[in-house]
Amino acid sequence: MINLATVMRNYLTKQEDVSLMLIFFDGEEAFEEWGPNDSIYGAKHLAKQWYNKKTAYVGGSFSELDRIDMLILLDLLGAPDPNFYNYFKTTEKWYSFLASIEKKLAQMRKFESYSYGRPEQRYFQPYSFEAQIEDDHIPFLRRSVPILHLIPTPFPPFWHKSGDNRHNIDLKTTENLNKILRVFVASYLHLSV
- Residues with a catalytic annotation lie at 28, 75
Burial track 30-69 (b if 16+ CB lie within 10 A, e otherwise): eeeeeeeeebbeebbebbeebbeeeeeeeeeeeeebeebe
Q: Decide the pairing of beta strands 54-57 and 60-63.
A: antiparallel
Q: Which amino acid is at 57?
A: Y
d(CA 156, CA 137): 19
Between CA 149 and CA 123 the distance in angstroms is 14
128: β partners = 86
148: which residues sit within 8 A by CB, 6+ positions away? 70, 71, 72, 73, 88, 91, 94, 95
In Å, what is the CA distance from 180 to each residue of 110, 134, 149?
10, 25, 15
Whether the bond into 119 is cis, omega within 30 of 0 = no
